[in-house]
Homo-oligomer: A and B are copies of this chain.
Amino acid sequence: MSLVVVGSVALDTIETPRGRADDALGGSATHFALAASLLTKVRLMGFVGEDFPAEHVDLLRKRGIDLTGLETKPGETFRWHGRYLENMNVRETISLALNVFGEYEPVPPPAYRDSEFVFLANGSPVHQMQVVERMTAARFTVVDTMDHWIESDRPALDALLKRVQAVLINDSEAHLLTGLDGIAAARALLDFGPHYVVVKKGEHGAVMVTPDDTFLIPAFPVAEVRDPTGAGDTFAGGMMGCLAEAGDVTPAIMRRALAYGAVIASFNVEDFGVRRTAALTPDEVEERLEKFRRMLAF
């Protein structure tokens, strides 16, 4: 089934205790699409500036990602410069320039309007809602958000959550929205509207709740995390890629989808930016998924 992602396409400068990357291909939609493309066809929507390197477009296209919705606008591409501290759980933003990403309203191209699976990567809930209203064929829309929007535009976010089937959110953001922690926060989020709530806990995995189901998934343990940037979007891409390929959403399919998300995210953090995920093959994913399954059996 058709899957579309709306989010940022960026040039990231990343510093971690394990190294550094300058002006590397990044952004939520990029990480998502590269992950999802391992499992299904994916359509990308976003804005880049005139400075966006052609090699990055080639890389995405070679992975079969539909770029009809990737618009080049006058100005510069979204740039982020961040630094991770020693334990990789804390990061500081050194500079951020939204550039063209902040200026335009996302209008899905006609060729995307039949998409049934939609992922709204972190962004303004007002823009996210515009996409929801325009994607009239959508059957399963998932939204990601972050502390900034929870604090600055709560009414728009609340309205949006009533219109989507699932929310994917960090544990700290789940706390910010509900005032609760852990499984209690996840269950409370069901009252905001979505039928599926996935709370991401970084290196500690994720938990999914529905009104009748609870699913726990640890993170696949990697020997060395080199760069955690994009792990959450890669996780989302693996999840949505699996769902769209299955063409249906049930708690059982959702569980498998989250396992794919965890596995692909574990590759992504092994190198800077999208380097590892861009080189990843479906066979490597399947192999690690089996290994993961064995790590969880008792």
- A197 CB to closest chain B CB (Å) equals 13
Contact for A201 among B204, B217, B296, CB less than 8 A: B204
Q: Assess the A295–B214 pair: CB atoms within 8 A.
A: yes
- Bound state CA distance, A201 and B203, in angstroms? 11
- Bound state CA distance, A222 and B225, in angstroms? 29
Q: Assess the B181–A217 pair: CB atoms within 8 A.
A: no
Q: Which residue of B lies closest to A203 (CB)?
A: B182
Q: Assess the B224–A184 pair: CB atoms within 8 A.
A: yes
Of residues 240 through 267 on chain A, the ones whose CB sits less than 8 Å from some CB of chain B are 255-256, 258-259
Q: Which residues of B lie under 8 Å from residue A223 when comparing CB positions? A: 183-184, 187
A82 within 8 A of B: no
Q: Which residues of B lie under 8 Å from residue A221 when comparing CB positions? A: 182-183, 207, 214, 216
Q: Which residues of B lie under 8 Å from residue A152 when comparing CB positions? A: none
Q: Which residues of B lie under 8 Å from residue A255 when comparing CB positions? A: 297-298
Count class of interface residues, chain A: 20 to 34
Q: Assess the A216–B218 pair: CB atoms within 8 A.
A: yes
- Bound state CA distance, A223 and B298, in angstroms? 24
Q: Which residue of B lies closest to A222 (CB)?
A: B183
A64 within 8 A of B: no
Q: Which residues of B lie under 8 Å from residue A293 when comparing CB positions? A: 298
Q: Which residue of B lies closest to A254 (CB)?
A: B298
- Bound state CA distance, A204 and B202, in angstroms? 11
Residues 200-221 of A, flagged 1 when their CB comes within 8 A of B and 0 if not, give 0101110100000011111001
- Bound state CA distance, A203 and B185, in angstroms? 14
Q: Which residue of B lies closest to A224 (CB)?
A: B184
Residues 160-204 of A, flagged 1 when their CB comes within 8 A of B and 0 if not, give 000000000000000000000111100100000000000001011
Q: Which residue of B lies closest to A225 (CB)?
A: B182
A87 within 8 A of B: yes
Check A181/B295 contact, CB under 8 A, given A201-B204, A204-B201, A221-B207: no
Q: Which residues of B lie under 8 Å from residue A201 when comparing CB positions? A: 204
16 more contacts with CB within 8 A, not counting A182-B222, A296-B296, are A87-B181, A182-B203, A182-B221, A183-B221, A183-B222, A183-B223, A184-B223, A184-B224, A204-B204, A204-B205, A215-B295, A215-B296, A216-B218, A216-B221, A217-B218, A255-B297
